[in-house]
């Protein structure tokens, strides 16, 4: 049996949209530009908080 894929707490942009199974453009327009998910600059580049993404998806229609 395969182990489930574990998503890190801090996701790169390419991982963030795959995590919620939407296109990158949709992720950027609906979640980031609308302020539902923040982009956090780190020394390794921009990262997105997995828990914030989960919360934004839970409240998608609010």
Look at residue 62 and tell me whether its pLDDT is greater than 80.
no
Residues 22 and 55: beta-carbon distance below 8 Å: no
Residue 5 lies in a domain: no
Domain of residue 35, residue span: 10-58
pLDDT digits (tens, 9 = 90+) for 7-61: 999 999 999 999 999 999 999 999 999 999 999 999 999 999 999 999 999 998 7
- Write phi, then psi, for 60 (nearest 5 degrees): -55, -40
Q: Please give the radius of gyration of the chain, using alpha carbons only, rounded to the nearest integer.
A: 12
Look at residue 5 and tell me whether its pLDDT is greater than 90.
no
Residue 18 lies in a domain: yes
Residue 42 lies in a domain: yes
Residue 3 lies in a domain: no
Q: How many domains does the chain have?
A: 1
Assign 3 a pLDDT band (cuts: 50, 70, 90).
low
Residue 14 lies in a domain: yes
Residue 1 lies in a domain: no
């Amino acid at each position: 049996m395969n182990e489930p894929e574990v998503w890190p707490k801090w996701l790169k942009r390419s991982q963030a949209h795959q995590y919620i199974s939407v296109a990158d453009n949709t992720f950027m327009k609906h979640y980031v530009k609308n302020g539902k998910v923040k982009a956090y600059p780190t020394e390794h580049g921009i990262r997105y908080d997995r828990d914030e993404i989960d919360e934004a998806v839970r409240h998608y229609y609010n």
